[in-house]
Amino acid sequence: MREIYLDNSATTKVLPEVAGVIQDVLTKEYGNPSSLHRMGVAAERVKTEARRTIAGGCGVKESEIYFTSGGTEANNLAIKGAARRNRRRGNHLVTSKIEHPSVLYAFRALEDEGFSVTYLDVNQAGQVNPEDAAAAVGAETILMSLMHVNNEVGAIQPVEEIGRRIKEKNSDVLYHVDAVQSFGKLPVRPSAWHADLVSFSAHKIHGPKGAGALWRRNGVHLEPLLHGGGQEDGLRPGTENMAGIAGFAAAARLALKSREKNFEHLQNLKSRFLAGLEEHISEVTHNGSGEDAPHILNVTVAGIKGEVLVHALEEQGVYISTGSACHSHRPDPSHVLLAMGLKEEEIGASLRFSFSSLNTETDIDQTLEILEQTVESIRLMTRR
Amino acid sequence: MKALFLVRYGEIGLKGKNRKFFENTLTKNIKRALLDVADCRIHQTYSRNFVEVVDGDAEAVAARLSQVFGIVSISPVAIAPLDLDEIKAVAKAEFEKITRPGVTFKVETKRANKRFPYKSPEVSREVGAHLLINIPDLKVDVRNPEIKLEVEIREHETYIYTRTIAGPGGLPVGVAGKGLLLISGGIDSPVAGWMSMKRGVTLEAIHFHSFPFTSDRAKEKVIDLCRELTRFGGKIRLHVAHFTEIQKELRLKTPERLTVTLMRRMMFRIAERLAEQRGALALITGESLGQVASQTMESINVIEKVTTIPVFRPLIGLDKEEIMNISRRIDTYPISIRPYEDCCTVFLPDFPATRPRLADVEEAEASLDIEALISESLAKTETLDITTNT
């Protein structure tokens, strides 16, 4: 059976070139960058090159990149680190209702520490209104955190306009952007966004799990989450995950090099898929707008249970997701779709298809064919 | 030797000619239960076993022993040479581990080794006096002592013990024949399995899987539940029966309010067929009277009509709370509450019939090719052997 993997927002397959780099680091260049000898120097060089790749990919200085264990840690470090370090300047934080759990729950934890948090609403397309964002910022506000591309629906936030407007209102506000779902796929431009902190992850771009990074603009102070041997300027101590870092860099190089070509390819796949859905399956609603990122598509298929369709498709070699992967172990409905105004039954019938540059038009066409048959037979069983 | 445990068994001592079989089964079960925690030697004696821990974790051995059905209680044993002064010293040390001010006690001696120069009452007297002199604030009570210190004079050494850890009681798994447990993934059925094992039943289990309407995580959950149960009685063969086609047929051809009754009837038919093939003598379910629509007396009656094999319902008189307490005690609870749906909940109608009538049910089944559905389900059944370490 052919495997069609359309769950690339959950994670992606590691490319063979990337796996090769990782294996070399694990078995040949396995030194500790802190070691004084030649092996340490070689590892240090691998790390510097990796920094250069990530920094080059978004036009920032390489000395401002800090490697972490992934997007979740980068988000936590940025948000908790900034809030705790700047506490004496104010007590107010702002984010939106559709952030990734690693952002939302970091803010919840800060609320327990006594911070006050504003959670911005979104419109039906899943976007924050820059007007609202600016209005939420006051003299007490020390941090705003927003995601660039939403992981469940693909909505792109107007991060640049929001950055400009909040800085106009209060130039001291720190601005964090979670670019986990956009890096390597859309232009990521921290300086144009007026950002101070940006999070990245490796495994969404065909790199390994357990690797990510935080960009921190020079002069921004963070309180570290961990304390230890002083690696990464003391901001993220612990012996570096060299295999992850090298794999991240290798994956980033490939993604950045073909970014524009891939973008077009993904856009083509998505519109082909959406058109096919509308043609072959009745009562499908697109949860999002035409302006969304090209690799994520969220739809509601009336009369099915999302999870049942996921399992029915897996039986035929097609891998997709309901709402988002982080949600599928919990029965509560997606907070993103709720914020976009969907009803609970629509959320229960929602699916996420997420594409990668490895997907082909054949993948799309075969999935549509399988969907057409499967949706009908499930509707027969679950509709009353 | 790292440690020694005295293992007492009760009920099985009463079983006449079968006694040897019962004892051997228990010994085999003890060996299996300890296999992965310690290297042990087991000495079988009349109505008791001694488990000698040669190497490994003695605490873990005690914990495992306290879960082996057939065992009434366990005592950690201290060893002294065949010398009265040494016996007194060890007895004092053992006594001090559990004594408290004002406690009443008694010393009881058994002298299997008749060459030992003191008779049993003399040993008891000597040891008792030694304790009274050396440990403050003790009282002797020979009728109803709070602490009973037992001294056993054996061939090469003396065993001394004071503490008793309760075992689960019951009969050794394997002495009562085989039963087929209908396991859903919920809280009740694993408890029903455990209670059957307690009466010596060897378990096989059948789970009805309705992929894609239930997920592979629901199946994993059942595998994990069976694995927990293996700790009480060795390997469990799990049959995962394919139930999707039956669900579809019921959905398309029968009235919704009878779905649950009809589904249960199909499950019982398939289980009975499998039980015959596997040599199981009873079906076991986690039903508790009145708990849900399929567990009213009317439902149970109509459902059981499809079988001739005995159906055991060890939980029939227990409340949910009582079942949950056992489930927590045997560690199946955290697995049972994982949030994956099984076929009993996915297809639960809004208003299931609580008093189905046999005539209605049989009429609804008239449109089904029952024999074909059963054969198809059995043909697609997957068999897994679950052991503690798989």
Summarize the confidence of residues A174-199 as an average pLDDT.
98
Is there a catalytic annotation at residue A326? yes
The CATH number that domain B178-386 falls under is 3.40.50.620
* Ranges of H-type helices in chain A: 16-27, 38-58, 71-85, 101-112, 130-136, 159-169, 190-193, 242-257, 259-280, 306-314, 335-339, 344-348, 361-382
What one-letter code names the amino acid at B34? L
Residue A177 pairs in a beta bridge with A146, A198
Residue A68 pairs in a beta bridge with A212
What is the pLDDT, as a whole number, of residue B295?
86
B211 to A329: CB separation less than 8 angstroms, yes or no? no
B212 to A331: CB separation less than 8 angstroms, yes or no? no
What is the pLDDT, as a whole number, of residue B292?
82
Residues from chain A that touch B211, judged by Cβ atoms under 8 A, are 311, 315
Give residue limits of the domains in chain A: 4-11+259-383, 16-254
What is the pLDDT, as a whole number, of residue B133?
94
What is the pLDDT, as a whole number, of residue A326?
43
CB of B14 within 8 Å of a chain A CB? The answer is no
Q: Which of A310, A311, A321, A370 to mutate to test the interface with B (most CBs of B within 10 A)?
A: A311
CB of A257 within 8 Å of a chain B CB? The answer is no
Minimum Cα–Cα distance from B350: chain A residue: A384
What is the pLDDT, as a whole number, of residue A324?
47
Name the class of domain A16-254.
alpha beta
Taking the C-alpha atoms of residue A28 and residue A44, their distance in angstroms, rounded to an integer, is 14
Q: 3-state SS of chain B?
A: CCEEEEEEECHHHHCHHHHHHHHHHHHHHHHHHHCCCEEEEEEEECCEEEEEEEEECHHHHHHHHCCCCCEEEEEEEEEECCCHHHHHHHHHHHHHHHCCCCEEEEEEEEECCCCCCCCHHHHHHHHHHHHHHHCCCEEECCCCCCEEEEEEECCCCEEEECCCEECCCCECCCCCCEEEEECCCCCHHHHHHHHHHHECCEEEEEEEECCCCCCHHHHHHHHHHHHHHHCCCCCEEEEEEECHHHHHHHHHHCCHHHHHHHHHHHHHHHHHHHHHHHCCCEEECCCCCCCCHHHCHHHHHHHHCCCCCCEECCCCCCCHHHHHHHHHHCCCHHHHCCCCCCHHHHCCCCCCCCCCCHHHHHHHHCCCCHHHHHHHHHHCCEEEEECCCC
What is the pLDDT, as a whole number, of residue A328?
47
Binding residues of B for ATP: 182-183, 207-208, 264, 286, 295
The sheet carrying B178-182 orders its strands as: B311-312, B282-284, B178-182, B202-209, B236-242, B382-386
Selected catalytic residue, list A326, A338, A368, A370: A326
The tokens 């993997």 sit on which residue? Answer: A5
Q: Print burial letters for A256-291: b (CB count within 10 Å at least 16), e (below 16).
A: beebeebbebbeebbeebbebbeeebeebbebbeee
Q: Which of B242, B251, B257, B342 to mutate to test the interface with A (most CBs of A within 10 A)?
A: B251
- B66/chain A closest Cα distance in angstroms: 35
Minimum Cα–Cα distance from B213: chain A residue: A308
Of B215, B216, B248, the CB nearest to A381: B248
Q: For residue range A95-152, list pLDDT tens digits in order.
A: 999 999 999 999 999 999 999 999 999 999 999 999 999 999 999 999 999 999 999 9
Of B212, B247, B256, the CB nearest to A311: B212
CB of B351 within 8 Å of a chain A CB? The answer is no
CB of B251 within 8 Å of a chain A CB? The answer is yes
What is the pLDDT, as a whole number, of residue A133?
97
Residue A116 in 3-state DSSP?
strand
Residue A38 in 3-state DSSP?
helix
- The token pair at A123 is 């419109």
Q: For residue range A280-325, list pLDDT tens digits in order.
A: 999 999 999 999 999 999 999 998 888 889 999 999 999 999 864 4
Strands B147-153 and B103-111: parallel
Of B211, B247, B346, the CB nearest to A315: B211
Summarize the confidence of residues A57-82 as an average pLDDT.
97
Q: For residue range A11-43, list pLDDT tens digits in order.
A: 999 999 999 999 999 999 999 999 999 999 999
CB of A331 within 8 Å of a chain B CB? The answer is yes
Minimum Cα–Cα distance from A310: chain B residue: B212
Give residue limits of the domains in chain B: 3-166, 178-386
Taking the C-alpha atoms of residue B359 and residue B351, their distance in angstroms, rounded to an integer, is 19
B339 to A329: CB separation less than 8 angstroms, yes or no? yes
A384 to B256: CB separation less than 8 angstroms, yes or no? yes
- The token pair at A268 is 């083509």
Q: Does domain B3-166 have CATH number 3.40.50.620?
A: no
- B183/chain A closest Cα distance in angstroms: 22
Minimum Cα–Cα distance from B253: chain A residue: A381
Taking the C-alpha atoms of residue A93 and residue B191, their distance in angstroms, rounded to an integer, is 50
Interface size, chain A vs chain B, as Cβ–Cβ contacts under 8 Å: 28
Q: What is the residue-averaged pLDDT of chain A?
A: 94
Does the pLDDT of residue A155 top 80, yes or no? Answer: yes
CB of A309 within 8 Å of a chain B CB? The answer is yes
Minimum Cα–Cα distance from A308: chain B residue: B213
What is the pLDDT, as a whole number, of residue A327?
44
Quick one: fold of A4-11+259-383?
Aspartate Aminotransferase, domain 1 (3.90.1150)
Of A315, A330, A384, the CB nearest to B212: A315
Residues from chain B that touch A314, judged by Cβ atoms under 8 A, are 212
Residue A300 in 3-state DSSP?
strand
- A317/chain B closest Cα distance in angstroms: 13
CB of A312 within 8 Å of a chain B CB? The answer is yes
What is the pLDDT, as a whole number, of residue A358?
97
- Check residue A148 and report its DSSP letter: S
Residues from chain B that touch A381, judged by Cβ atoms under 8 A, are 213, 247-248, 251
Q: What is the largest CA-CA distance in chain B?
A: 86
A127 contacts A162 by C-beta, under 8 angstroms: no
Binding residues of B: 182-183, 207-208, 264, 286, 295
CB of B337 within 8 Å of a chain A CB? The answer is no
A381 to B216: CB separation less than 8 angstroms, yes or no? no
Q: Give just the sign of the alpha carbon dihedral A311, A71, A236, A14.
A: positive
Does the pLDDT of residue A62 top 90, yes or no? Answer: yes
Q: What is the mean pLDDT of each run of 10 residues along chain B (390 residues)?
A: 87 69 90 88 84 89 91 94 96 92 94 93 95 93 94 93 91 94 94 96 95 87 95 92 92 90 96 97 94 86 95 96 95 89 62 87 94 96 86
Summarize the confidence of residues A250-257 as an average pLDDT.
97
CB of A314 within 8 Å of a chain B CB? The answer is yes
CB of A371 within 8 Å of a chain B CB? The answer is no
pTM of the model: 0.83
CB of A329 within 8 Å of a chain B CB? The answer is yes
Does the pLDDT of residue A46 top 90, yes or no? Answer: yes
Taking the C-alpha atoms of residue A149 and residue A147, their distance in angstroms, rounded to an integer, is 6
Residues from chain A that touch B216, judged by Cβ atoms under 8 A, are 311
A312 to B212: CB separation less than 8 angstroms, yes or no? yes
Minimum Cα–Cα distance from A378: chain B residue: B213
What is the pLDDT, as a whole number, of residue B47?
74
Does the pLDDT of residue A240 top 50, yes or no? Answer: yes
Residues from chain A that touch B252, judged by Cβ atoms under 8 A, are 380
Q: Print burial letters for A152-181: b (CB count within 10 Å at least 16), e (below 16).
A: bbbbbbbbbbbbbbbbebbeebbbbbbbbb
- A309/chain B closest Cα distance in angstroms: 7
| Distance, first Cα to last Cα, chain A | 33
Taking the C-alpha atoms of residue B227 and residue B231, their distance in angstroms, rounded to an integer, is 7
A315 to B256: CB separation less than 8 angstroms, yes or no? no
- Check residue A329 and report its DSSP letter: T
Does the pLDDT of residue A206 top 70, yes or no? Answer: yes
- A311/chain B closest Cα distance in angstroms: 5
Does the pLDDT of residue A329 top 60, yes or no? Answer: no
